[in-house]
Amino acid sequence: MNAPKIQSVRGMNDILPDEAEFWELFEDAVRIWLKRYGYRPIRLPIVEPTPLFKRAIGEVTDIVEKEMYSFVDSLNGELLTLRPEGTAGCVRAAIQHNLAAQQAQRLWYMGQMFRHERPQKGRYRQFNQVGVEALGLPGPDIDGEQILMGARLWADLGLDGISLQINTLGQADERARHRSELIAYFTRNEQALDDDSRRRLQSNPLRILDSKNPALHDLLQGAPRLIDHLGSESRAHFDGVQQVLHDAGQAFVVNPRLVRGLDYYNLTVFEWVTDRLGAQGTVCAGGRYDGLVEQLGGKPTPACGFALGVERLLALVREAGGETRGDAVEVYLVHQGSAASRFAVGIAERLRDQGINVLFHCGGGGFKAQMKKADASGAAFAVIVGDDEAAAGEVTVKPLRSAHEQSTTQQRVAADSVGEAIRSYLLDLDRDEC
């Protein structure tokens, strides 16, 4: 009797080979994009102490209250959490290793995040983000540049239909005045609030503005606006960010209800949104978090950053008809006979030395069966080695794809020349396509 199958955890998905190649293309584009702006990679743990996120994100948030995967380490009793976002861990690392004290830092990371929420299109319980953080830079110029970075990535990926919303959350004293007005306003309208909003009314009324409940839309539209409580310095910073965007010709909308779901933000916040992914339309979001480094035990350090959702962006790239596979195998190496098989190993390594992708046939079988597998592999060429070829120090090169087949037929070449022959065929194909 067969053992029962074990399935993956709901919302935590396998990425199979064809899809993984698509991911690698995207990741390569991201690395090139970030290098253009002078950002350097940092690699962070997936598991962090739970207090890190409670202190950074805020205890009265959906992430901390409902979504974190937290557990007790059975060896020492420490409370740990699978990271639900990357900024807190990046700031923790910068403090722990004294990075921000040395000079301004431009850092980026890529990897899995975990939140226990209802899986839906583009949103999963294990999901991937690219995070970008700048530490030690106080002015609106870095806020503006980070926003413009998004626009450049959309262009690099061939995406359109992504629009920009910005807002400012001001500083702590400005938010305190706004908070008092919000509490008074929502208390007057408490009968219209849902249960989540009533629970947050006294502890975190600003988070009510982030509600996705459509029944609260009109009530939220009439709520007091934080932007009306800004002092001169906060207004000047926000004006500076807008000036950077105007100078770059970047369109945007000021959305006074944009608050983000994390408590560490101040001043600039922004979201890049699309209507092509259903209700969950944010593909990139971030802002300034000047108080977080000090809040986590470091010296006061200005900071800002953003994160983009990999799954959501890949869905948009697919919709736009972007490439879905990486570099294909160029050569399938067919061989039969003991002398041929030993000779073929050296041929395969020689081709790889020359930068040619080779799939070496394993598992035996006759030439006909191997050629079927060569054709199914997607390789551009079969390199065929029999005992006769091995004895003569030669191989047969056979084009497998129609574009190559039209330009040439199979030919026998010296083993030392096989790489040059394949490169010549590939160059001919490039000329034909041009």
- Please report, for the chain, the start and end positions of each structural domain, with discontinuous segments joined by +: 17-170+230-319, 331-428
CB-CB contact of 306 with 85 (8 Å): no
CA 313 to chain CA mean position, Å? 8
Nearest to 319 by CA among 433, 190, 157: 157
Q: What is the pLDDT of residue 278?
A: 66
Predicted pLDDT of residue 219: 87
Q: Give dist(CA 379, CA 332) in Å, integer.
A: 6
Q: Give the pLDDT of residue 84.
A: 93
Asked whether the beta carbons of 285 and 265 are under 8 A apart, the reply is: no
Minimal CA–CA distance to 208: which of 236, 186, 238, 230?
A: 186
Which pTM does this prediction carry?
0.81
pLDDT at residue number 27: 94
The correct CATH number of 331-428 out of 2.60.260.20, 3.40.50.800, 3.50.50.60, 3.40.50.150 is 3.40.50.800
With a CB cutoff of 8 Å and minimum separation 6, the contacts of 376 are none
Q: Are both 17-170+230-319 and 331-428 of the same fold?
A: no
Mean pLDDT of successive 10-residue stretches along the chain, which has 434 residues = 87 89 92 95 96 85 84 92 94 92 90 85 84 95 96 92 93 84 86 83 76 81 84 94 96 86 84 79 92 92 95 88 68 93 92 90 91 90 92 92 60 89 72 52
- CA separation for the pair 179, 244 (Å, rounded): 30
282 close to 137: Cβ distance less than 8 angstroms: no
Return the residue matching tokens 């040439």.
408
CATH number for the segment(s) 17-170+230-319: 3.30.930.10
3-state secondary structure the chain: CCCCCCCCCCCCCCCCHHHHHHHHHHHHHHHHHHHHCCCEECCCCCEEEHHHHHHHHCCCCHHHHHHCEEEECCCCCCEEEECCCCHHHHHHHHHHCCHHHHCCEEEEEEEEEECCCCCECCECCEEEEEEEEEECCCCHHHHHHHHHHHHHHHHHHCCCCCEEEEEECCCHHHHHHHHHHHHHHHHHCHHHCCHHHHHHCCCCHHHHHHCCCHHHHHHHHCCCCHHHHCCHHHHHHHHHHHHHHHHCCCCCEECCCCCCCCCCCEEEEEEEECCCCCCCCEEEEEEECCCHHHHCCCCCCCEEEEEEEHHHHHHHHHHCCCCCCCCCCCEEEEECCHHHHHHHHHHHHHHHHCCCCEEECCCCCCHHHHHHHHHHCCCCEEEEECHHHHHHCEEEEEECCHHHHHHCCCEEEEHHHHHHHHHHHHHHHHHHHC
